[in-house]
Amino acid sequence: MKIADSTVLVTGANRGIGLAFTKAFLARGARKVYAAARDPSSITSPGVTPLKLDVTSPAEVEAAARMASDVSIVVNNAGIAAIGGFLAEDAEALLRRHFETNVFGVLRVSRAFAPALARNGGGALLNVASVGSWLSFPMLATYATSKAAVWSLSNGLRNELRGQGTQVMSLHMGFVDTDLTKDFDAQKSSPQEIVDYALDALEAGAEEALADELTRQVQGGLSAEHPIYLMQR
């Protein structure tokens, strides 16, 4: 997938990784970047086109698909990350919240924009997942479950959209230095590092982008007695 002269939609584009994506696409020569957020007035980056989009609203997703019918790349970045394990009193409600945004939001946007991608030559879907797709701790258990679902959803979408020539890539990484992780005491990558890695992988035709060493270790140890997994026992 070539970024130069492409038309891009980024969800959750007002901060963090989403904001870094909008800047990086412009720097790499994208013709147009739709920066989508629940509150479009929060989009202040020069050179982008603000777009109102709450991915939990089917009506807003459909409206956005009509307004941005020229897209060739869609980045499903909008998401939430709340602390909570499966034995917490609010576990079921928290899991539903995560799935509504992180999973059903990705599905809604992907379904709504798939016809536009087909009309515009196939294009690409880039779904922002996490190392949590394969690794879970009680503090972020419900979040991790949603990201595991994003990984599976991406694999399924790849199969269904292959016939129309759409590249589907999932992006996985550990902690990133954004508002979502400000209260976590952990080693963090910068949003720019993650986005640069992701866009290099997208242009190379990758199906998965493992953007940091932790993620590569975890994914590489899925079927082995890897220290990362032994820690969870």
The residue among 13, 26, 92 whose CA lies nearest residue 52 is 13
Q: CB–CB of 34/49 below 8 Å?
A: yes
Query: How far, in Å, CA of 228 to CA of 233, rounded?
Result: 10
Query: How far, in Å, CA of 158 to CA of 117, rounded?
Result: 13
Query: How far, in Å, CA of 116 to CA of 110, rounded?
Result: 10
Q: Which secondary-structure segment (H or E) carries 94?
A: helix 91-98
Query: How far, in Å, CA of 158 to CA of 137, rounded?
Result: 28
233 CB neighbour count, 10 Å cutoff: 4
| Residues in contact with 145: Cβ distance below 8 Å, sequence separation at least 6, in sequence order | 95, 98, 136
Catalytic residue IDs: 143
